A and B are shown apart, each in its own frame.
Chain A
Amino acid sequence: MASRKIEVVEKKNLVSPPVAVIISVLFPGLGHVLIRKLNRGLLIMASIGTIIGLFLWRIDLLAHRETDFISQYLKALSRKGFFIGFITLAIVILWLWVARDTYLHATRKKKGGFALFAFILVMFFAIGWQISEIDLKKAVTKFPDAWPPLSKILWPWEAAFTRATEELSASTEILIGSEDQGPPPIPVEEPGKPYLRSTPNFGKLSSLDENNNVIKGTILHLTGKNFKPNTLTQIWWFDALGNEFRPRQDGKYTSVTTDDKGNFEYDLVMPYRLIPPSAEGKILNKVEARQVTEVGSLIPADPLKLTFSLIIETIFMGMMATFFGIILSIPISFLAARNIMKGSWVTMLIYFITRTVLNIIRSIEPLIWALIAVVWVGLGPFAGIVALTVHSIAALGKLYSEAIEGIDHGPIEAIQATGANWLQTIMFAVIPQMIPPFVSFSIYRWDINVRMSTVIGLVGGGGIGFLLVQYIRLLDYKAAGIAVWFIALTVSILDYVSAEIRNRFV
């Protein structure tokens, strides 16, 4: 080989150093271009242009009522002094720095240099900080607000278990109106059974006058017997339609504690209740004394039971979606494998179309597919499965097709050379190469699908997310916490299991 001399040709500047500096001051970056530092110059131009553009936009947002630039700038400065001042100063420094950089490069005293761009990056961070409304102070000072729900989510287990309750109650009927309408009979006392009577057992409900002042109703003297001793007893009111509610007296729910013998006396003001205009004749309400006590050992509470059943639903949603995804993506993956499809232009066209469609489907998040699926098949786990299946087909189709493309042709040739037929060649040379990536990708996908199905419920796709979003909207943070814990537990177990399985195969 003929040896070649490497000639280093110094390209001459188009302008002298002082001129380059002046041009740089007038138009930052142009000076660099004229001394043949094209990339550096263009990068400086683009950076400064972007910074100034963003800066002007922020000023305009801060003071959009002002008309001319000066007053806009001053208004913005008064509102966000630190930010506006800092960026203004930084732009001035940058301007001078670019001029100096032009001079150093023009006189060949310097090559490269990243400090200038590090400075530009700092400016972008400052602007980004302002644009994205980062407020660390708020994050710290407002944290106590977040603590009550957060602590409930972090430790929700009081809500996970409960005890069976035993209810002890007795009631008596109250006539709304005067005695001459015929008050209801007084209940008969039976030994050993809770008993409640009211004196009188008729009267007027509380009502409002024209000025919305409360006119107190009749005071009922309640006598309770044969209840559990020393236990809080709630007083409930049933209106004529059977709706029950707890009346309040002085802002507190009415309740009374029984004495050592299980008896109590209580004065109840008849509560405020509108009587339906259609009501005719005798209107009977009911007052009830009720003791609710916990008995027996701890049993799982509803949130725990619901969470558990929905976690199972979630895991199976992920599994079914993966199953359908695998079944449907295997044939598609062959259409998307270049080495299979390179035969003719028709097959290549199919290859390109398949690839493009898969890429488009894959780039749409499962959550968005779920929104579409909910419209398609209605709320519930099936919508979630449809959404995850669609996304799985696209993702697995791509992964499988790449596995097919990556197949080693050598063993195929070797097995053919032994006199094996087509099926034997597939079984001995192709399948052994395909199984590990297929299994690995499928398990990985199952992992992803279960993780996705925990959030797909947020948009109505069934599974645990459905429950979680309900609890959060009801502000039931403890129940939500139970769901969150179960999601975390399931996902991490699955993560571990799928990693183990994949390790064995790859």
Chain B
Amino acid sequence: MLEVKNLTKIYNDGTVALDDVSFTVEDGEFLVIIGLSGSGKSTLLRCINRLIDPTEGQIIWDGKDVTSVKGAQLRNLRRQVGMIFQHFNLVNRSSVMNNVLSGRLGYVDPWKSLLYKFSPEDRKKAMESLQMVGIEDQALKRADELSGGQQQRVGIARALMQNPKMILADEPVASLDPVLAHTILGYLEKLNLERNITVMCSLHYLDLVQRYGTRVIGLRDGKLVWEGDNNAIKKMSDAEFKNIYGEEAERVSAGSLTGGEV
């Protein structure tokens, strides 16, 4: 279980990115975070694996305070949390295989890894991860030779190498077209259901939110303004929606696409 208590993040330039945010996530949930750009979604996700240090508040995961860990303990925390990014964040000039293997860095002998030496088991695991996302035939290509959808699958495969208990996905489909969006979220749902991995994912399209989220939190200007389960989001009123997205927002639909794998 992940507990976020009174989390606040103020950047050096004075921007208040998160303002006293508290919520809990049960293991095995598919939590969706919605909110405008700049509402604090990315900051929130990055506070959980401490890519960003929160200013105040606590994050407690499996009874441990995440906000206070350092050094080896911090790396030990990070390796249990997979992360997927909007812009995939692959090392473009490295091969797909090396990108996937880099997911193992938190587990392997640091000195050996510096020479890009990985054990046969790790390589086998990397191939399995690529198989799971259906791009095992691309393993030897350079990452930037792949299409956007394929690159995001590499991102998922990299996260899988960490044997994650939780996956943080920062707008994983915002750079992809709607068809691919369902494919990628389909993989995350599969991991969520089959391997009981907790997923925290920020999304924009309401259709996708309703289709995949088991629970939803809404952020606005760094404050938690909405919280509800899947049923609640399906019944969300225009007023509530506007409260999150502002007066000028209209309901955006991902088109007439039905959910599921494409």
Chain A positions within 8 Å of B, measured between CB atoms, are 408, 410-411, 413-421, 423-424, 427-429, 432-433, 435-436
Contact = CB atoms under 8 A, between A and B. Distances in A.
B93 A432 contact: yes
Contacts of A410: 85, 87-89
24 contacts: A410-B88, A410-B89, A411-B91, A413-B89, A414-B83, A414-B89, A415-B91, A416-B51, A417-B51, A417-B82, A417-B83, A418-B78, A418-B79, A418-B83, A418-B104, A419-B75, A419-B76, A419-B77, A419-B105, A424-B110, A424-B114, A428-B105, A432-B91, A432-B93
A212 B196 CA distance: 119
A417 B93 contact: no
A408 B90 CA distance: 10
B103 interface: yes
Given A410-B87, A428-B91, A432-B93, A417 B105 contact: no
A418 B75 CA distance: 8
Interface of B: 49, 51, 75-83, 85, 87-94, 98, 102-107, 110, 113-114, 155, 158, 161-162
A421 B75 contact: yes
B89 to A, nearest CB: 4
Given A413-B51, A413-B85, A418 B106 contact: yes
Given A410-B89, A414-B85, A428-B102, A420 B75 contact: yes
Contact of B79 (A411, A419, A428, A429): A419
Given A416-B78, A429-B91, 11 more contacts: A410-B87, A418-B79, A418-B105, A418-B161, A419-B76, A419-B162, A420-B102, A423-B110, A424-B110, A427-B114, A428-B105
Given A413-B51, A413-B85, A420 B105 contact: yes
Contacts of B82: 417
Contacts of A419: 75-80, 105-107, 162
A418 B85 contact: no
B114 A423 contact: yes
A34 B251 CA distance: 55
Given A413-B51, A432-B93, A436-B93, A420 B87 contact: no
Nearest to A419: B106
Contacts of A415: 91, 102, 105
A414 B158 contact: yes
Contact of A417 (B78, B88, B91, B92): B78
Nearest to A420: B105
A204 B103 CA distance: 103
A417 B90 contact: no
B49 A417 contact: yes
B41 to A, nearest CB: 15
A418 B159 CA distance: 8
A421 B110 contact: yes
Shortest Cβ-Cβ A-B pairs, 5 listed: A419-B106, A419-B79, A410-B89, A414-B89, A420-B105
A415 B76 CA distance: 14
Nearest to A421: B110
Contacts of B78: 416-419
Contacts of A423: 110, 114
Contacts of B110: 421, 423-424
A433 B51 contact: no
Nearest to A412: B89
A82 to B, nearest CB: 62
> Which of A411, A427, A435 is most buried by chain B, counting CB atoms within 10 A of its CB?
A411
Contact of A424 (B83, B87, B98, B113): B113
A221 B106 CA distance: 103
Given A424-B114, A427-B114, A428-B105, A411 B89 contact: yes
Nearest to B164: A418
A284 to B, nearest CB: 82
B93 A418 contact: no
A424 B51 contact: no
Nearest to A416: B51
A433 B83 contact: no
Nearest to B104: A418
Contacts of B79: 418-419
A413 B78 CA distance: 12
A282 to B, nearest CB: 86
Nearest to B81: A417
Given A419-B78, A421-B110, A411 B105 contact: no
Contacts of B93: 432-433, 435-436
A423 B110 CA distance: 8
A423 B105 CA distance: 11
B165 to A, nearest CB: 13
Contact of A433 (B80, B85, B91): B91
A427 B102 CA distance: 10
Contacts of B81: 417
> Which of B85, B88, B93, B107 is most buried by chain A, counting CB atoms within 10 A of its CB?
B93
